[in-house]
A = this chain, B = another copy of it.
Amino acid sequence: MSGEALLRFAAVCQRYEDGSRGLEECSLSIRPGSRNALLGPNGAGKTTLLLHGVGLLRPARGQVEFQGRPLDYGRAGLRQLRQRVGLVFQNPERQLLSASVYEDISFGPLNLGLPEAQVRQRVEAALGAVGLADCRERAVHQLSFGQKKRVCIAGVLAMEPELLLLDEPLAGLDGPMRREFEALLEQLAGQGITILLSTHDVDFAYRWADDLHLLAEGRCLASFPARELPRQQALLAAAGQALPAVLGLHRRLADLGLLPDEPPRSLDALLAALDGAAPDLKRNPA
């Protein structure tokens, strides 16, 4: 199992300087090429876990492994790691450090020491990937919140990471922006980038992720494929999460014999399944 993991947390323990708990015997694995969602209440350690993933925090006990090897916290080791693992923070305001979009995205590649021509090429590619090619010359403070989030992602993509960590990428986005953002995540996963994100939105996690990881009080309670979520309700409750809305509905409708036993992953899928079931019912209205 550990041989095939891209990133692995092995019984990681850590406390913050002020004495508050960071992680407590936290263990989980991320498979290469998979889509992963971290679920858990505020304070469960989701952000802390992501910071450990790029070596910004260091375990007091236990270890973090990348491709089977424990992280090297020396300068060269961290440099190598951060080339391959990118982290996008929740709040774009805290992360965008330059006044111009172009400049901000070039920050990482320049720090990699790449020649200018290659930096320009990477910035262009990253701008294109997040759909902001038109904004390259804008000032950061003129952008909308959703655009700022995209610039943050572009700044990380320009370093061409294999693993992308995103802290609450959907927080603060309105309806249309969320849909655009989900499409972007879809596209990045399609390019073979492994993704680990934290979210409060259990409906989204259930329909998007391959693997779910439940965090509570600094521990990973469980990791399982998203399709098994309907059988993990007790664990979900232990991590303070509500059940995805679609599951409650599906259960009732399946009890009524309107839907097959296998639950759909989203309300849209449930509606589609109902449409399939409709003809039968129309013929025998209750």
- Residue positions of A touching B, CB distance < 8 A: 41-43, 144-146, 171-177, 200, 202, 240-242, 245, 248-249, 252-253, 255-258, 267, 270-271, 274-275, 277-278, 280-286
Question: How many Å from the CB of A40 to the closest CB on chain B?
Answer: 9
Q: Which residues of the partner chain B approach A249 to less than 8 Å between Cβ atoms?
A: 249, 267, 270-271
Can you tell how many copies of this chain the complex includes? Answer: 2
A174 touching B284, Cβ below 8 Å: no
A267 touching B245, Cβ below 8 Å: yes
In the assembly, what is the distance between CA of A43 and CA of B145, in Å?
A: 10
Main secondary structure of the interface of A (DSSP, over half): helix
B146 touching A42, Cβ below 8 Å: yes
Q: Which residues of the partner chain B approach A257 to less than 8 Å between Cβ atoms?
A: 281, 285-286
Question: How many Å from the CB of A200 to the closest CB on chain B?
Answer: 4
A174 touching B267, Cβ below 8 Å: no
B200 touching A41, Cβ below 8 Å: no
21 A-B contacts, Cβ less than 8 Å apart?
A41-B176, A42-B145, A42-B146, A171-B171, A171-B172, A173-B200, A175-B241, A176-B240, A245-B245, A248-B271, A249-B249, A252-B271, A252-B274, A252-B275, A252-B278, A256-B281, A257-B286, A258-B258, A258-B286, A281-B286, A283-B286
B172 touching A172, Cβ below 8 Å: yes
Q: Which residues of the partner chain B approach A41 to less than 8 Å between Cβ atoms?
A: 174-176
Q: Which residues of the partner chain B approach A267 to less than 8 Å between Cβ atoms?
A: 245, 248-249
